[in-house]
Amino acid sequence: MKRAILMLALMLVSTGAALAQLDTTRITAQVPFDFVVGDKAVPAGEWTVSSGPMNGALLIQNRDAEFGVLSLPQKDESKKPAGSCVLVFHRYNNRYFLSGIKIEGSRITYRLPESKAEAELRAQNITATDEIRLGSLK
């Protein structure tokens, strides 16, 4: 029982640290293609990811396009911290779906919910490849 409580406490501390890091961090990346985040199609351009107004939410926005979307990601923890900030996209032929965000120095990967369009492509057994776009901390 003590071990379970200790594990739960460690998970809460690491999740809180990751959210605190994103609260003070903005990741900016130039994305040269249109893509889907959630169930919204969004244009290419400079995108910024930061913490959203709700606890655990991410705000993904393009100021030039005057467009923003909130997403509630899942958090996965890896053994090694990320070497850089990246946006991870799943690419199906010429369609791109934002699937994950990594923050330099953090072991947390934010996994975005799969859109209906991506689920349909996967159901058709279309193979996805990962497309990585480097971001920078602001």
Structural domain of residue 93, as residue ranges? 2-137
Residue % of the chain over a pLDDT of 90: 66
Tokens of 73: 């990601």
Tokens of 26: 């903005």
At residue 22, what are phi and psi to the nearest 5 degrees? -70, -30
pTM, whole model, 2 decimals? Answer: 0.79
- Residue 137: pLDDT band by 50, 70, 90 thresholds? confident
- Residue 73: pLDDT band by 50, 70, 90 thresholds? very high
**Number of domain units in the chain:** 1
pLDDT > 50? residue 109? yes
Q: Residue 86: left if φ>0, alpha if ψ -120 to 50, beta else—which one?
A: beta
pLDDT > 90? residue 55? no
